[in-house]
Homo-oligomer: A and B are copies of this chain.
Amino acid sequence: MALTLMEGNEAIAWGALAAGCRFFAGYPITPATTIYNAMLYRLPPAGGICLQGEDEIASIGFCLGASMAGHKVMTATSGPGISLYSEQISFAVGSEIPIVIVDVQRLGPSTGSATKGADGDIQFLQWGSSGGQPVIVLAPVDVRDCIVLTMQAFNLAERFRCPVFVATNKEIAMTRETVDLDALDLPAVESRSMAAPDGAFEPFAGSAASPVPDFLPIGGRRIVRQTSSTHGPDGYITTDPDLIAATQERLTRKITSRPEAFIYCDYLETPGARTLVITYGVTARAARDAVDRSKRQGAPSSLLVLKTLWPVPERLLRAKAADYERIVVIEMNLGQYVREIERLLAPRDIAFYGQMNGELITPSRIAEVIAHG
Protein backbone atom coordinates (compact mmCIF):
# COMPACT_ATOMS: atom_id res chain seq x y z
CA MET A 1 0.00 0.00 0.00
CA ALA A 2 1.34 3.42 -0.93
CA LEU A 3 -0.87 6.07 0.50
CA THR A 4 -0.11 9.42 -1.04
CA LEU A 5 -1.72 12.76 -0.37
CA MET A 6 -2.07 14.75 -3.56
CA GLU A 7 -4.28 17.36 -5.10
CA GLY A 8 -6.11 16.79 -8.39
CA ASN A 9 -3.60 18.79 -10.38
CA GLU A 10 -0.71 16.72 -9.09
CA ALA A 11 -2.69 13.60 -9.90
CA ILE A 12 -3.07 14.76 -13.49
CA ALA A 13 0.68 15.23 -13.72
CA TRP A 14 1.16 11.79 -12.18
CA GLY A 15 -1.19 10.25 -14.74
CA ALA A 16 0.46 12.08 -17.60
CA LEU A 17 3.86 10.74 -16.66
CA ALA A 18 2.47 7.23 -16.23
CA ALA A 19 0.89 7.49 -19.68
CA GLY A 20 4.21 8.34 -21.27
CA CYS A 21 3.90 12.11 -21.55
CA ARG A 22 7.32 13.56 -22.18
CA PHE A 23 6.48 17.13 -23.22
CA PHE A 24 4.48 19.81 -21.49
CA ALA A 25 4.16 23.47 -22.36
CA GLY A 26 1.82 25.95 -20.76
CA TYR A 27 1.31 29.44 -19.50
CA PRO A 28 0.47 30.07 -15.86
CA ILE A 29 -3.16 30.62 -14.91
CA THR A 30 -4.88 29.89 -11.66
CA PRO A 31 -6.16 27.21 -10.97
CA ALA A 32 -4.17 25.26 -13.59
CA THR A 33 -0.69 26.43 -12.63
CA THR A 34 0.09 23.66 -10.21
CA ILE A 35 -0.12 21.16 -13.09
CA TYR A 36 2.67 23.14 -14.72
CA ASN A 37 4.56 23.17 -11.45
CA ALA A 38 4.22 19.43 -11.00
CA MET A 39 5.31 18.73 -14.56
CA LEU A 40 8.27 21.08 -14.12
CA TYR A 41 9.27 19.11 -11.08
CA ARG A 42 8.74 15.66 -12.58
CA LEU A 43 9.29 15.81 -16.33
CA PRO A 44 12.98 16.71 -16.63
CA PRO A 45 14.15 13.90 -14.34
CA ALA A 46 12.07 11.57 -16.54
CA GLY A 47 13.91 12.77 -19.64
CA GLY A 48 11.08 15.06 -20.73
CA ILE A 49 10.76 18.75 -21.40
CA CYS A 50 8.57 21.21 -19.53
CA LEU A 51 8.31 24.68 -20.92
CA GLN A 52 6.54 27.96 -20.35
CA GLY A 53 5.74 29.63 -23.65
CA GLU A 54 5.64 33.37 -24.25
CA ASP A 55 1.85 33.11 -24.03
CA GLU A 56 -0.89 30.51 -24.42
CA ILE A 57 -0.70 30.57 -28.21
CA ALA A 58 3.01 29.80 -28.19
CA SER A 59 2.53 27.15 -25.52
CA ILE A 60 0.02 25.00 -27.37
CA GLY A 61 2.06 25.58 -30.52
CA PHE A 62 5.09 24.02 -28.84
CA CYS A 63 2.93 21.06 -27.81
CA LEU A 64 1.61 20.46 -31.31
CA GLY A 65 5.10 20.66 -32.75
CA ALA A 66 6.38 18.17 -30.21
CA SER A 67 3.48 15.86 -30.90
CA MET A 68 4.12 15.99 -34.64
CA ALA A 69 7.69 15.03 -33.78
CA GLY A 70 6.36 11.92 -32.09
CA HIS A 71 6.06 12.80 -28.42
CA LYS A 72 3.12 12.43 -26.11
CA VAL A 73 2.21 15.96 -25.07
CA MET A 74 -0.04 17.77 -22.63
CA THR A 75 -0.94 21.33 -21.82
CA ALA A 76 -3.16 22.75 -19.09
CA THR A 77 -4.99 26.00 -18.66
CA SER A 78 -8.33 27.46 -17.63
CA GLY A 79 -11.18 29.03 -19.63
CA PRO A 80 -9.40 32.18 -20.84
CA GLY A 81 -6.50 30.03 -21.97
CA ILE A 82 -8.73 27.56 -23.78
CA SER A 83 -9.99 30.62 -25.66
CA LEU A 84 -6.48 31.42 -26.76
CA TYR A 85 -5.93 27.78 -27.71
CA SER A 86 -9.01 27.76 -29.90
CA GLU A 87 -7.36 28.32 -33.26
CA GLN A 88 -4.80 25.62 -32.67
CA ILE A 89 -7.31 23.16 -31.29
CA SER A 90 -8.89 23.38 -34.70
CA PHE A 91 -5.49 22.71 -36.23
CA ALA A 92 -5.05 19.65 -34.02
CA VAL A 93 -8.48 18.37 -35.05
CA GLY A 94 -7.96 18.89 -38.76
CA SER A 95 -4.36 17.78 -38.88
CA GLU A 96 -4.95 14.89 -36.49
CA ILE A 97 -2.32 15.76 -33.91
CA PRO A 98 -2.59 13.92 -30.58
CA ILE A 99 -2.66 16.20 -27.55
CA VAL A 100 -4.15 16.15 -24.08
CA ILE A 101 -5.57 19.51 -23.02
CA VAL A 102 -6.55 19.99 -19.41
CA ASP A 103 -9.16 22.63 -18.67
CA VAL A 104 -9.22 23.43 -14.97
CA GLN A 105 -12.49 25.27 -15.08
CA ARG A 106 -13.03 28.36 -13.03
CA LEU A 107 -15.89 30.77 -12.68
CA GLY A 108 -16.50 32.84 -15.83
CA PRO A 109 -17.33 34.59 -18.02
CA SER A 110 -14.05 36.28 -18.90
CA THR A 111 -11.32 36.36 -16.29
CA GLY A 112 -14.11 35.86 -13.78
CA SER A 113 -12.90 34.47 -10.46
CA ALA A 114 -9.57 32.72 -10.56
CA THR A 115 -10.09 30.84 -7.33
CA LYS A 116 -13.72 29.81 -7.72
CA GLY A 117 -14.79 26.65 -9.47
CA ALA A 118 -17.46 26.11 -12.12
CA ASP A 119 -18.24 23.73 -14.93
CA GLY A 120 -18.88 26.53 -17.39
CA ASP A 121 -16.89 25.17 -20.33
CA ILE A 122 -18.74 21.94 -21.01
CA GLN A 123 -20.21 23.04 -24.34
CA PHE A 124 -17.20 25.24 -25.04
CA LEU A 125 -14.86 22.26 -25.06
CA GLN A 126 -16.85 20.52 -27.79
CA TRP A 127 -17.75 23.57 -29.82
CA GLY A 128 -14.96 25.99 -29.05
CA SER A 129 -13.24 25.93 -32.39
CA SER A 130 -14.19 26.52 -35.98
CA GLY A 131 -15.60 23.64 -38.01
CA GLY A 132 -17.61 21.63 -35.54
CA GLN A 133 -15.82 18.29 -35.76
CA PRO A 134 -16.22 16.06 -32.70
CA VAL A 135 -13.69 15.97 -29.89
CA ILE A 136 -13.34 13.83 -26.79
CA VAL A 137 -13.93 15.27 -23.32
CA LEU A 138 -13.39 13.34 -20.10
CA ALA A 139 -14.44 14.65 -16.69
CA PRO A 140 -12.81 13.40 -13.48
CA VAL A 141 -14.55 13.45 -10.14
CA ASP A 142 -11.65 12.97 -7.75
CA VAL A 143 -7.92 12.41 -7.47
CA ARG A 144 -8.18 8.79 -8.55
CA ASP A 145 -10.03 9.86 -11.70
CA CYS A 146 -7.46 12.55 -12.34
CA ILE A 147 -4.85 9.84 -12.58
CA VAL A 148 -6.82 7.24 -14.48
CA LEU A 149 -8.72 9.50 -16.85
CA THR A 150 -5.59 11.43 -17.71
CA MET A 151 -4.02 8.15 -18.71
CA GLN A 152 -7.11 7.29 -20.72
CA ALA A 153 -6.99 10.73 -22.32
CA PHE A 154 -3.47 10.01 -23.55
CA ASN A 155 -4.54 6.62 -24.81
CA LEU A 156 -7.46 8.09 -26.72
CA ALA A 157 -5.39 10.94 -28.14
CA GLU A 158 -2.88 8.42 -29.42
CA ARG A 159 -5.48 5.92 -30.59
CA PHE A 160 -7.51 8.48 -32.55
CA ARG A 161 -4.86 11.11 -33.31
CA CYS A 162 -6.97 13.90 -31.89
CA PRO A 163 -7.13 16.40 -29.06
CA VAL A 164 -8.62 14.99 -25.87
CA PHE A 165 -9.78 17.30 -23.12
CA VAL A 166 -9.74 16.63 -19.40
CA ALA A 167 -12.46 18.88 -17.99
CA THR A 168 -11.66 19.36 -14.37
CA ASN A 169 -12.53 22.17 -11.98
CA LYS A 170 -10.80 24.31 -9.41
CA GLU A 171 -12.46 22.32 -6.64
CA ILE A 172 -10.96 19.02 -7.79
CA ALA A 173 -7.70 20.57 -8.83
CA MET A 174 -6.87 22.08 -5.48
CA THR A 175 -8.30 19.56 -3.08
CA ARG A 176 -5.85 17.13 -1.57
CA GLU A 177 -6.95 13.55 -1.13
CA THR A 178 -5.31 10.35 -0.05
CA VAL A 179 -4.86 7.86 -2.83
CA ASP A 180 -3.37 4.39 -2.69
CA LEU A 181 -1.21 4.41 -5.79
CA ASP A 182 -0.49 0.69 -5.56
CA ALA A 183 -4.14 -0.16 -5.51
CA LEU A 184 -5.01 1.75 -8.65
CA ASP A 185 -6.07 -0.25 -11.62
CA LEU A 186 -4.16 1.63 -14.26
CA PRO A 187 -4.97 1.24 -17.92
CA ALA A 188 -2.42 -0.23 -20.29
CA VAL A 189 -0.51 2.48 -22.11
CA GLU A 190 -1.25 2.88 -25.80
CA SER A 191 0.75 4.65 -28.45
CA ARG A 192 -0.08 5.93 -31.89
CA SER A 193 0.10 3.47 -34.72
CA MET A 194 3.32 4.01 -36.62
CA ALA A 195 3.66 3.69 -40.36
CA ALA A 196 6.49 1.63 -41.71
CA PRO A 197 9.32 4.12 -42.16
CA ASP A 198 10.11 2.93 -45.64
CA GLY A 199 6.91 1.97 -47.38
CA ALA A 200 4.47 4.16 -49.23
CA PHE A 201 3.11 6.70 -46.79
CA GLU A 202 0.09 8.94 -46.93
CA PRO A 203 -0.08 11.05 -43.81
CA PHE A 204 -3.88 11.41 -43.80
CA ALA A 205 -5.12 8.13 -45.18
CA GLY A 206 -7.45 5.87 -43.26
CA SER A 207 -7.35 2.19 -44.02
CA ALA A 208 -9.85 -0.61 -44.25
CA ALA A 209 -8.92 -1.51 -40.71
CA SER A 210 -9.15 1.95 -39.22
CA PRO A 211 -10.21 5.50 -40.00
CA VAL A 212 -7.12 6.73 -38.12
CA PRO A 213 -4.07 7.31 -40.33
CA ASP A 214 -0.78 5.79 -39.33
CA PHE A 215 1.76 8.24 -38.04
CA LEU A 216 5.32 9.17 -38.87
CA PRO A 217 7.18 11.89 -37.01
CA ILE A 218 8.34 14.98 -38.79
CA GLY A 219 12.08 15.21 -38.89
CA GLY A 220 12.74 11.64 -39.91
CA ARG A 221 13.98 10.21 -43.16
CA ARG A 222 10.62 10.44 -44.90
CA ILE A 223 9.04 13.78 -45.62
CA VAL A 224 5.82 14.09 -43.63
CA ARG A 225 3.44 16.59 -45.10
CA GLN A 226 1.49 18.57 -42.54
CA THR A 227 -0.85 21.44 -43.28
CA SER A 228 -3.60 23.41 -41.61
CA SER A 229 -5.36 23.75 -44.95
CA THR A 230 -7.97 21.42 -46.39
CA HIS A 231 -6.07 18.40 -47.63
CA GLY A 232 -6.44 14.96 -49.08
CA PRO A 233 -4.92 11.72 -47.83
CA ASP A 234 -1.54 12.68 -49.29
CA GLY A 235 -1.42 15.90 -47.30
CA TYR A 236 -1.55 18.17 -50.30
CA ILE A 237 -4.09 20.96 -50.40
CA THR A 238 -7.17 19.93 -52.31
CA THR A 239 -10.39 21.48 -53.55
CA ASP A 240 -11.84 18.18 -54.67
CA PRO A 241 -15.26 17.95 -52.99
CA ASP A 242 -15.16 14.19 -52.75
CA LEU A 243 -11.78 14.15 -51.06
CA ILE A 244 -12.88 16.89 -48.70
CA ALA A 245 -16.10 15.13 -47.82
CA ALA A 246 -14.25 11.89 -47.23
CA THR A 247 -11.87 13.57 -44.82
CA GLN A 248 -14.66 15.34 -42.94
CA GLU A 249 -16.50 12.07 -42.65
CA ARG A 250 -13.39 10.27 -41.46
CA LEU A 251 -12.66 12.93 -38.83
CA THR A 252 -16.16 12.43 -37.49
CA ARG A 253 -16.33 8.67 -37.77
CA LYS A 254 -13.04 8.00 -36.03
CA ILE A 255 -14.32 9.72 -32.88
CA THR A 256 -17.97 8.74 -32.93
CA SER A 257 -18.24 5.33 -34.50
CA ARG A 258 -17.42 3.24 -31.45
CA PRO A 259 -18.21 5.42 -28.47
CA GLU A 260 -18.84 2.45 -26.19
CA ALA A 261 -15.12 1.77 -26.35
CA PHE A 262 -14.44 4.67 -24.07
CA ILE A 263 -17.48 5.35 -21.95
CA TYR A 264 -16.31 6.06 -18.45
CA CYS A 265 -19.00 6.43 -15.83
CA ASP A 266 -20.12 5.38 -12.38
CA TYR A 267 -23.59 3.99 -12.04
CA LEU A 268 -24.97 3.68 -8.53
CA GLU A 269 -28.17 1.74 -8.83
CA THR A 270 -30.58 1.87 -5.93
CA PRO A 271 -33.21 -0.84 -5.81
CA GLY A 272 -36.65 0.60 -6.15
CA ALA A 273 -35.43 3.97 -7.33
CA ARG A 274 -37.74 5.87 -9.66
CA THR A 275 -35.47 8.86 -10.12
CA LEU A 276 -32.14 8.89 -11.90
CA VAL A 277 -29.76 11.68 -11.01
CA ILE A 278 -27.28 12.49 -13.77
CA THR A 279 -24.25 14.62 -13.11
CA TYR A 280 -20.47 14.83 -13.59
CA GLY A 281 -17.38 16.42 -12.16
CA VAL A 282 -17.00 17.52 -8.58
CA THR A 283 -20.76 17.73 -8.21
CA ALA A 284 -20.87 13.95 -8.37
CA ARG A 285 -19.50 13.86 -4.85
CA ALA A 286 -22.34 15.85 -3.41
CA ALA A 287 -24.74 13.87 -5.56
CA ARG A 288 -23.54 10.63 -3.98
CA ASP A 289 -24.35 12.01 -0.57
CA ALA A 290 -27.70 13.24 -1.76
CA VAL A 291 -28.58 9.85 -3.24
CA ASP A 292 -27.64 8.22 0.05
CA ARG A 293 -29.92 10.58 1.87
CA SER A 294 -32.70 9.92 -0.58
CA LYS A 295 -32.50 6.23 0.31
CA ARG A 296 -32.70 6.94 4.00
CA GLN A 297 -35.57 9.27 3.40
CA GLY A 298 -37.59 6.61 1.62
CA ALA A 299 -37.53 8.13 -1.82
CA PRO A 300 -34.66 6.18 -3.33
CA SER A 301 -32.86 7.47 -6.38
CA SER A 302 -30.01 6.18 -8.52
CA LEU A 303 -27.01 8.06 -9.74
CA LEU A 304 -25.25 8.15 -13.09
CA VAL A 305 -21.94 9.98 -13.02
CA LEU A 306 -20.70 10.62 -16.54
CA LYS A 307 -16.97 10.75 -17.02
CA THR A 308 -17.07 10.70 -20.79
CA LEU A 309 -18.97 13.83 -21.75
CA TRP A 310 -18.14 14.06 -25.44
CA PRO A 311 -18.94 12.36 -27.68
CA VAL A 312 -22.22 12.05 -25.79
CA PRO A 313 -22.71 8.42 -24.69
CA GLU A 314 -26.13 8.36 -26.27
CA ARG A 315 -26.86 4.67 -26.04
CA LEU A 316 -25.85 4.53 -22.40
CA LEU A 317 -27.98 7.50 -21.49
CA ARG A 318 -31.02 6.15 -23.25
CA ALA A 319 -30.57 2.73 -21.73
CA LYS A 320 -30.12 3.86 -18.18
CA ALA A 321 -32.84 6.46 -18.33
CA ALA A 322 -35.32 3.92 -19.63
CA ASP A 323 -35.59 2.38 -16.18
CA TYR A 324 -36.66 5.55 -14.40
CA GLU A 325 -39.71 7.72 -14.22
CA ARG A 326 -37.85 10.86 -13.59
CA ILE A 327 -34.54 12.35 -14.62
CA VAL A 328 -32.72 14.96 -12.57
CA VAL A 329 -29.69 16.71 -14.03
CA ILE A 330 -27.36 18.70 -11.80
CA GLU A 331 -24.64 20.97 -13.19
CA MET A 332 -22.28 23.58 -11.87
CA ASN A 333 -23.33 25.96 -14.61
CA LEU A 334 -26.51 27.47 -15.98
CA GLY A 335 -27.56 24.43 -17.99
CA GLN A 336 -25.18 23.06 -20.57
CA TYR A 337 -25.03 19.29 -20.66
CA VAL A 338 -28.71 19.09 -19.84
CA ARG A 339 -29.29 20.21 -23.42
CA GLU A 340 -27.75 16.98 -24.65
CA ILE A 341 -29.86 14.95 -22.28
CA GLU A 342 -32.98 16.77 -23.45
CA ARG A 343 -31.96 16.04 -27.01
CA LEU A 344 -31.76 12.33 -26.27
CA LEU A 345 -34.62 11.92 -23.85
CA ALA A 346 -37.20 14.52 -24.83
CA PRO A 347 -40.07 14.83 -24.39
CA ARG A 348 -39.54 13.19 -21.03
CA ASP A 349 -39.67 15.43 -18.06
CA ILE A 350 -36.19 16.39 -17.04
CA ALA A 351 -35.62 18.36 -13.88
CA PHE A 352 -32.56 20.55 -13.91
CA TYR A 353 -30.67 22.32 -11.21
CA GLY A 354 -27.75 24.52 -12.12
CA GLN A 355 -25.67 26.84 -10.04
CA MET A 356 -22.73 29.01 -11.05
CA ASN A 357 -22.00 31.35 -8.17
CA GLY A 358 -18.56 30.24 -7.08
CA GLU A 359 -19.85 27.77 -4.51
CA LEU A 360 -20.11 23.99 -4.55
CA ILE A 361 -23.59 22.58 -4.90
CA THR A 362 -24.41 21.02 -1.54
CA PRO A 363 -25.82 17.55 -0.97
CA SER A 364 -28.85 19.02 0.71
CA ARG A 365 -29.58 21.23 -2.27
CA ILE A 366 -29.43 18.18 -4.53
CA ALA A 367 -31.52 16.15 -2.15
CA GLU A 368 -34.11 18.89 -2.30
CA VAL A 369 -34.14 18.80 -6.09
CA ILE A 370 -34.48 15.02 -6.00
CA ALA A 371 -37.35 15.32 -3.59
CA HIS A 372 -39.18 18.25 -5.08
CA GLY A 373 -37.69 19.12 -8.45
Contact in complex: B131, A109 (CB < 8 Å): yes
Rounded to whole Å, the gap between the CB of A106 and the closest CB of chain B is: 9
Determine the chain B residues whose CB is within 8 A of the CB of A343 once the complex forms.
339, 342-343, 346
A44-81 CB contacts (< 8 Å) to partner B: 49, 51, 53-55, 57-58, 61, 78-80
Closest to A134 in B: B334
Does A257 make an interface contact (CB < 8 A)?
no
In the assembled complex, which residues on chain B have CB atoms less than 8 Å from the CB atom of A244? Answer: 107, 113, 356-358
**Interface size of A as a range:** 35 or more
- A355 within 8 A of partner (CB): yes
Q: A80 contacts which chain B residues (CB < 8 A)? A: 87, 90, 130
Count of chain copies: 4
A127 and B120 contacting across the interface, CB-CB below 8 Å: no
Verify B129–A127 contact, CB threshold 8 A: no
Name the one of B112, B230, B242 contacting A94, with C-beta atoms under 8 angstroms.
Answer: B112
Task: State whether the Cβ of A224 lies closer than 8 Å to any Cβ in chain B.
Answer: no
A16 within 8 A of B: no
Chain B residues with Cβ below 8 Å from A95 are 110
Residues of B within 8 A of A82 (CB): 86, 130
Of the candidates B51, B83, B113, B339, the one whose C-beta lies within 8 Å of that of A239 is B113
CB distance from A40 to the nearest CB of B (A): 9
A241: nearest chain-B partner, CB-CB: B357
Q: Residue A181 at the B interface, CB < 8 A? A: no
Closest B residue to A111 by CB, please name it. Answer: B228
B110 and A90 within 8 A (CB): yes
Known contacts being A228-B110, A245-B357, A355-B245, is A123 close to B127, with CB within 8 Å? yes
Contact of A344 among B61, B107, B118, B346 (CB under 8 A): B346
Interface string of A301-339 (1 = CB under 8 A from B): 000000000000000000000000000000001101001
Nearest Cβ distance between residue A13 and chain B, in whole angstroms?
Answer: 18
Indicate if the CB atoms of A108 and B124 lie closer than 8 Å: no
**Would you call A128 and B128 a contact (CB within 8 A)?**
yes
Neighbouring B residues of A111 by C-beta, 8 Å: 91, 228-229
A126 close to chain B: CB less than 8 A: yes
Q: Tell me, yes or no, whether A195 is within 8 Å of chain B by CB.
A: no
Cross-chain contact of A127 among B124, B242, B356 (Cβ < 8 A): B124
Are A112 and B230 in contact, with the CB atoms below 8 A?
yes
Which chain B residues border A108 with CB–CB below 8 Å?
A: 90, 94, 130-132
Q: Is A284 in the interface zone, CB < 8 Å from B?
A: no
Proximity bits, A192-205, B CB within 8 Å = 1, else 0: 00000000000000
A359 within 8 A of B: yes
Q: Is the CB of B131 within 8 A of A229?
A: no
Is A347 close to B, CB under 8 A?
yes
Tell me whether A116 is interfacial, beta carbon within 8 Å.
yes
- Quick one: CB contact mask for A329-373 with B, threshold 8 Å, 1 for yes? 000011010010011111100000001111100000000000000
Q: Which single member of B58, B89, B239 contacts A358 (CB below 8 Å)? A: B239
Least CB distance, A276 to chain B, in whole angstroms: 18
Q: Are B124 and A109 in contact (CB under 8 A)?
A: no
The 10 A-B pairs at the shortest CB distance, nearest first, are namely A79-B130, A108-B131, A109-B131, A83-B86, A94-B109, A83-B87, A127-B127, A54-B58, A245-B357, A343-B343
20 sampled A-B residue pairs with Cβ under 8 A:
A49-B49, A53-B58, A79-B130, A84-B86, A91-B111, A93-B109, A94-B108, A109-B130, A111-B228, A113-B229, A120-B131, A120-B132, A121-B132, A124-B128, A128-B128, A230-B358, A245-B356, A248-B334, A248-B356, A248-B357
